[in-house]
Amino acid sequence: SASGVIAKSGGSQALVVSSNASWVASSQEGWITLSRSSGVGNASVTMTVAANPTVAERTTMVVVTAGGTLVKAVSVTQAAGDPTLELSTASWGALKNENTQTLAITSNTSWVAASDQSWLMPSVDSGVGNADVVLTAAANPTVLARRATVTVTTGGAVVKTVAVTQAADDAALAISPET
C-alpha cells in the first residue's frame, strides 16, 4: 500500500498486489500512471506521480479489483506544489503621451499587482491564475524621463517586476500677454 505523502515534485512508488485471481488496477486521476493495469496473481505495480502544478495538496484513489467483485483502494496524497508567477515582459518603454501596455500574468495562484508611481496604473490590482493586465501610463508633462516599477507578488511570496521608463515631453514656452 502507499504510505505518507508523495513529494510535490512527483516520483514513483511500488504498489504490491497480492491475489490468487486476475485483477485490474486503475487510477482515478490522470496525474498518476500505473506501470500495468492488469495481471494474474501477485505482482508489483509502479505508480508514477507527476509533479503537482497547483498550490493545493491533492488526493486520489488507486483501485484494484480482483475476480470482478473484490475491491481494494489505496489513497494517494501529494504535497502542494510551489506557487508560480511569470510576466510577459520585464520592462516597458512608455511613450510621452498617455499609452498602454498589456502585461500577461501566468500564475497558478492568487497575485497582487501594484505600481510605485501614481502616473502608472494597472487595470486590476489582484487576481487568481492567468490574466491580462493593462498598464496605463498618464502623459508625461515634464521635460524629464520618469521611471516606475510595477510589482506582482503571489501569496507564496514570489515577486516579479516590470521596470517602466516614460519618455520626456517636449519643451514648451508660453508668455502672457503677448506683445
pLDDT digits (tens, 9 = 90+) for 99-143: 999 999 999 999 999 999 999 999 999 999 999 999 999 999 999
Record the pTM: 0.75
Sequence-distant contacts of 105-109: CB under 8 A, at least 24 apart: 105/130, 105/131, 105/132, 105/133, 105/152, 106/130, 107/83, 107/154, 108/53, 108/54, 108/55, 108/81, 108/83, 108/84, 109/55, 109/83, 109/84, 109/85, 109/154, 109/155, 109/156
Q: Helix or strand or coil: residue 120?
A: strand
% pLDDT > 70, the chain: 96
